[in-house]
């Protein structure tokens, strides 16, 4: 197996290094031959070359590698003249590879924190349309600014179908065991979201074995905190999904706990949900759990399901047994290397 690694910026190299160690140990134990190839990308690459990725990288991601593991990218001081971040890869990779499904599991591991309700759901965020399609193309002058939110039938149909297919593979919501897909929108206010909801209804009719559920965006923000056990799979627009996944992370120990996959029909890459946290770079305090669990998602995507599950089980055991404990700010008491070692010891 050939895995491309984008180290990224800030804490990215440390996190990717941790995940590579865990991947190598798990693959070796299961007799899987794995090789890593470095691909530069991010803000540092942008400052050096004027582009966030090396030439030809997108084509290599599609055709040369079995999978792509990406660290967080971006630095606050690296900006375009209009003030937006330069060297970030979200739009470049998601649209360039048409990885339309951003899959963000939110699961509370034992030993992390107390909760009144079990938490184990997945946010399926549409990744190529919505408000973020305006990235780099909004308009502004000294008096006003505008960004366009666009949804298409093809885009909504395929993300809704992805969500229902995912729900069929899961065990249901932890509170009641019901396989359920919750559509989150603002269809009571915006026509674009009413369009999203109407197409969701059409797709839901094709999955009578999965319950179709509904929340307005503001109500979803409340209920994901107040009653998270109700949720199984949540599907929503790009910008809304970005916000709600960070909210969900706060209920399970912080952004350092949450992995993600960006998945399309012909390509996929896997990364933490958080940014590059340059203030933590080099301190050894960053939590690599999100990157390690992203690596497990990568393995599952390429068919190494048993190895992926062993990594997830090892992460769970490291927290449950108290080998990894989090400070109030979400950083691990044992440091980045300590988390890595605790997971490898439990493989």
DSSP 238-281: HHHHHHHHHHHHHTTT-GGG-EEEEE-SS-EEEEESS---GGGT
Contact status, residue 311 vs residue 296, Cβ threshold 8 Å: yes
Catalytic residue among 186, 214, 223, 337: 186
Intra-chain end-to-end CA distance of the chain, in Å: 20
CA atoms within 13 A on the CB side of 340: 21
Catalytic residue among 185, 213, 232, 242: 242
Catalytic residue among 100, 121, 132, 207: 132
Q: Is 218 a catalytic residue?
A: yes
Contact status, residue 280 vs residue 331, Cβ threshold 8 Å: yes
Catalytic residue among 82, 218, 265, 329: 218
Q: Is 232 a catalytic residue?
A: no
For residue 332, what are the CA distances in angstroms to 15, 134, 263, 322, 342? 13, 37, 29, 11, 12
Which residues on adjacent β-strands are paired with residue 144? none
DSSP 137-148: T-EE-SS-EE--
Q: Is 186 a catalytic residue?
A: yes
Q: Is 169 a catalytic residue?
A: no
Give the active site residues. Answer: 132, 186, 218, 242, 246
């Amino acid at each position: 197996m050939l895995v491309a690694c984008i180290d990224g910026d800030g804490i990215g190299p440390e996190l990717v290094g941790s995940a590579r160690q865990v991947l190598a140990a798990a693959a070796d134990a299961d007799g899987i031959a794995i090789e890593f190839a470095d691909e530069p990308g991010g803000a540092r690459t942008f400052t050096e070359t004027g582009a966030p990725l090396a030439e030809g990288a997108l084509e290599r991601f599609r055709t040369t590698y079995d999978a792509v593991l990406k660290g967080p990218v971006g630095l606050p001081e690296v900006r375009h003249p209009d003030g937006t971040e330069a060297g970030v890869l979200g739009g470049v990779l998601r649209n360039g590879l048409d990885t339309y499904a951003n899959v963000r599991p939110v699961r509370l591991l034992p030993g992390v924190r107390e909760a009144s309700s079990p938490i184990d759901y997945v946010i399926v965020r549409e990744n190529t349309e919505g408000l973020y399609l305006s990235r780099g193309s909004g308009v502004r002058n000294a008096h006003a600014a505008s960004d366009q939110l666009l949804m298409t039938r093809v885009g909504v149909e395929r993300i809704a179908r992805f969500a229902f297919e995912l729900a069929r593979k899961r065990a249901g919501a932890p509170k009641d065991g019901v396989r359920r897909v919750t559509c989150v929108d603002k269809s009571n206010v915006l026509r674009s979201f009413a369009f999203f909801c109407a197409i969701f209804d059409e797709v839901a009719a094709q999955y009578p074995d999965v319950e179709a559920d509904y929340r307005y965006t503001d109500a979803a923000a409340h209920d994901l905190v107040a009653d998270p056990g109700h949720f199984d799979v949540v599907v929503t627009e790009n910008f809304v999904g970005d916000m709600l996944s960070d909210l969900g992370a706060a209920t399970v120990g912080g952004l350092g706990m949450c992995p993600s996959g960006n998945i399309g029909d012909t390509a996929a890459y896997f990364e933490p949900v958080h940014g590059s946290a340059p203030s933590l770079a080099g301190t050894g305090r960053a939590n690599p759990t999100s990157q390690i669990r992203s690596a497990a998602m990568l393995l599952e995507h390429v068919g190494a399901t048993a190895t992926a599950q062993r990594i997830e089980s090892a992460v769970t055991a490291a927290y449950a047994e108290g080998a990894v404990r989090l400070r109030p700010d979400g950083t691990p008491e044992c440091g980045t290397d300590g988390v890595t070692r605790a997971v490898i010891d439990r493989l």
